[in-house]
Structure 1
Amino acid sequence: MTLVEHIKELRRRLIISLLALGVGTILGVIWFEHSLFGLPTLGFLLREPYCSLPADVRADFSADGSCRLLATGPFEMFGLRFKVGGLAGLVFASPVWLSQLWLFITPGLHKNERRSTAIFVTVAVLLFVLGALLAYWVITFALEFLLTIASESSTTALNGKLYFSFLIGLLLIFGVSFEVPLIIGMLNVIGVVSYEQLRDKRRIIIFGVFCFAAVITPGQDPMSMVALAIALTLLVEMSIQFCRFNDRRRDRDRPEWADLDDDEASPLHTPGTAPGPGGPVRPSGPVTSSGPLHTPSGQPYRRPGFDTPDGSGFDDVP
């Protein structure tokens, strides 16, 4: 394909992805207030961690005593609904835009590279979902810690915009952080890092993980920090063990001559084993002549110093 054809192909893939994202966003906006396929509404699912708190630590502004968030602007909930619906639409449309990305990339890859890319994308999606689910479970404890610090002197009235920003930020941070072990594994596959390097720096890596969790969590509460740090530590340890297994497999499949210098000869037998007995040496026979040599033009080739008339060996060969 020419460069123009590649650009047209990319444009077609982008248009299909954007259309799928638009349809997913519409479904997300509808799901925010209306149940789809018997599932609870998206607004209820996102509001549940706040509503599960004790009633005495959150303000009640509804006439029927139901759990509601506070809106301080006329267009605040309208924009928030489209923001949350857009994020939900991105998840709904992920099979389409991931497949379009896959179809655009795979024609330039080998068969084994396509298989590795498919595994990488699948594991990346699973890790992101696991991180988001862990964040959704942790946020209830994080809110309870943050909102009950001064419950005797104040009551919290959360703004809908701030609450959803905090919730979505925590979901994204946990989801993206769970990709770190996958990155370590891919760096080992391409040969950038080895198990020996990671094993010697395991303590430093774990300390860095805890510092990262303490800084990156938006609420700065100990529950979310510790949960993220422990989960990342376990995942990093799993990635280190993967590097150990992959390095052993690579050394087992690697030929003996791959680690030799250019001027070093490879062994004639497997190291650690005795060379096998050789057979008898056959006697040499006479060398048969295949006839006189000829030049490309068809004339007989004259050897310098022997076939020249004067024996000088400097006769030009046509």
Structure 2
Amino acid sequence: MATSDLDQQGLLKSGGFNNSPEDDDENDPSAMSLIDHLEELRWRIFKCLIAVAVGVVIAFIFRNQLIHLLDAPLPLTANTLGGKQRLTMTGLGEAFTVTIKLSIVFGLVFALPVILYQLWAFISPGLYEREKKHAVPFIVLGLVLFIIGVALGYFILQFPVSFLINFGAENFNELISANSYFSFVSFFLLLFGAVFELPLVLTFLALIGIVTESFLKSKRAVAHVAMWAAATVVTPGGDLYSPVFIGVALSILYEFSILLIHFTVKKDSADELA
């Protein structure tokens, strides 16, 4: 009987039935190996690509409406032909190439909700429960801020376009190609959309402990100067209005980030104490 008991104890230890924390961590079925993480990442990227492909198809179907929407900021004197504004096509396949590029850009925009969700779903297993509960609000806030940024960029677009077209009007006869115009417009709108994600990025960094409200407040003056300097450099167009709009937007978004962090992190701390 004694020998049998010893054998059973040895079997329990060698067979993985030991209840030590180390063994529990290693044998936890919910724990994912590196291969499992890579496999999950591959499937989430695949789902994002499917969403982008669907968005590209939708954008291609409505390509005429999108093109008319984007060329509306053109001045009335630009590329006028037969009483209508027409962008120049400099190559045989440029019209098709430009349409595909626009479809891809709008496909990415249409797929943004899916991309944000898949990104959050991939990183959420490594977060605490108090951080996971912010998933839906963050995704919604990210979409709203991106849309507001693109809308503001579309409103401001007329200023850099008019400035660039009229700058050399006295000396040059500008024929604006479709490729150059839509590349500029796409970059301009995406820049505004990305800029408006600043509160989302800073709040997420605060939730995981990289930045704090007091740190952002202490660096407020330096941050505002740096953001206004960056606005004058990264803003395409060369006009005076666009950097001012971006600088004002960045300053407002920075202060909004501090306010958002104050209420979000404070609420999480109160929940932990409770």
TM range (shorter): 0.7 to 0.9
State whether residues 213 and 225 of structure 1, in contact with CA within 8 Å, keep that contact through their aligned partners in structure 2.
yes
| Runs (5+) with no aligned partner, structure 2 | 1-31
Secondary structure, counterpart of 2:157 in structure 1: helix
1:217 paired with 2:235, answer: yes
CA contact (8 A) 1:59 1:155 kept: no
Distance verdict in 2 for CA 1:143–1:109, change over 3 Å: same
- Structure 2 equivalent of residue 46 of structure 1: 70
| Structure 2 residue 51 is the aligned partner of structure 1 residue 29 | no
Give, in angstroms, the shift of residue 93 of structure 1.
Answer: 2.8
Give 1:279's aligned residue: none
Aligned to 1:289: none
- Residue 26 of structure 2 corresponds to which residue in structure 1? none
Name the CA shift for 1:110/1:148 in 2 (closer, same or farther; >3 Å).
same
Query: CA offsets, 1:273-300, max 9 Å, x none?
Result: xxxxxxxxxxxxxxxxxxxxxxxxxxxx
The answer for the alignment partner of 2:224 in structure 1 is 206
1:133 corresponds to which of 146, 151, 155: 151
What is the letter of the counterpart of residue 93 of structure 2? F
Aligned CA-pair RMSD? 2.7
Larger radius of gyration: 1
Match runs of 1:85-234 below 5 Å? 85-106=103-124, 109-234=127-252
Could you state the TM-score of these two structures normalised by the residue count of structure 2?
0.76
Mark the CA change 1:102 to 1:158 in structure 2 (over 3 Å): closer, same or farther: same
Identify the residue that residue 84 of structure 1 maps to in structure 2.
Answer: 102
Cα distance, 1:251 vs. partner? 7.7
Quick one: structure 1 residues 79 and 202, their matched pair in 2 at CA, closer, same or farther if it must change by over 3 Å?
same
What is the match of residue 36 of structure 1? none
For 1:188 and 1:2, locate their aligned partners in 2 and report how far apart those are by CA, in whole Å.
28
1:43 alignment partner AA: I
Count, aligned residues: 242
Relative to structure 1, is the Cα distance of residues 66 and 135 closer, same or farther in structure 2, using a 3 angstrom cutoff? same
2:84 equivalent among 56, 62, 66: 66
Tell me if structure 1 keeps the 8 A contact 2:112–2:143. Answer: no
Distance 2:215 2:269 in 1: 16
TM-score, with structure 1 as normaliser: 0.67
Partner of 1:85, secondary structure, is: helix
**Structure showing the higher helix proportion among its residues:** 2
Distance 1:245 1:80 in 2: 45
Cα displacement string for residues 225-253 of structure 1 (whole angstroms, at most 9, x for unaligned residues): 11100111111122223345567667877
